[in-house]
Chains A and B, each alone.
Chain A
């Protein structure tokens, strides 16, 4: 497996004249896990979107290096998996159809059997043929994990990873995080103290804004 580095250099984001955060830099390698914390509105989700490549920073850049070679921005999605409350799947399709669509769109040569294994992992096998619109918010959250893991991404980005989940769901998620830490990189945006235990580095956006060390 190629050596993967995920790095951010001097990330700054402003909306109109309001500066959300500035000067965020880090380098993450295999088995690194980073937590981003901060009060509501501090820019955790914005930072995660920038790291996912779906939002441009006002200044600075992010890079994924595979064996020292920079991955093109257009191909970045092949290396990332994201789970977030604002991520939506198609309600009119079943869980299996959703995953199958995303498997084919990514063209990651993932076998269909992996979809069944992922649905089993997130405990949705018995409801895989039901339209997503009939799912509870917790079931949708679990399906998002299956979505994010289809292509076995080296970098997993999680925004409020345990939101809407029951105890069993939370335990599954922590299992996924532990597994991901063994083979890749995990970045978590959270304020939950339990989630922070799964990270070996923390960026506190409130401290950063106040001029303190992160």
Chain B
């Protein structure tokens, strides 16, 4: 694999995103709108940390679904897939796109969590070490899974609806684990108590990335 090619594809996607705002604007608007609706819905009610941990990851899941598919869908819609196929090996395209989705999702999740901690006052984090580790591992797993799913659905006719439908069963183990770990962070559990959750998240990341790496060439080529 030519690392320079993957980095160039990543840099091309970043520059393209900054010029076209294909995904960025949609993601930011989605997070702000969803958070506003949740704040109106909660009102002055007292909501448990379990529910609020789940709500945080629901926002992250659906905002991921609304924006991360663009990395492949935009190539397909603009007809530039063939161009990429002619200049790079599939693995280089996959790594470049994965890197782009990772950066985009890390930026999005940092923004989402910051807004969530500021505005949802009944949610507070007692163990930041668990919370940050969960956020990092969850983001890595989410980006990895959503990249290969985006590559698959970009070939389909019903891209918009297929993405969350196909993603949900694949992301379910990840979502259940991060919600549980976030609840532990809110409850102030010791870092060692969350070791099991971290092992699941790390294993999920390794399995999804390895499977994606092996599958991508078949998905990428018609």
Contact = CB atoms under 8 A, between A and B. Distances in A.
Taking chain B's interface residues, is the majority helix, strand, or loop, or is none over half, making it mixed?
helix
B222 A89 contact: no
A101 B96 CA distance: 13
Contacts of A56: 221-222
Interface residues of B, number: 24
A101 B8 CA distance: 7
Interface stretch (A27-35, A104-112, A116-124): A104-112
A163 B149 CA distance: 37
Interface in B111-152: none
A105 B87 contact: yes
A92 B221 contact: no
B80 A89 contact: yes
A26 interface: no
A102 B84 CA distance: 9
Given A54-B221, A77-B86, A80-B86, A92 B8 contact: no
Give the most central of A49, A77, A80: most B CB within 10 Å.
A77
Given A56-B221, A77-B87, A90-B12, A106 B80 contact: no
A112 to B, nearest CB: 14
B185 interface: no
Contacts of B16: 90, 92-93
Interface of A: 49, 52, 54-56, 74-75, 77, 80, 82, 84, 86-93, 101-102, 104-107, 147
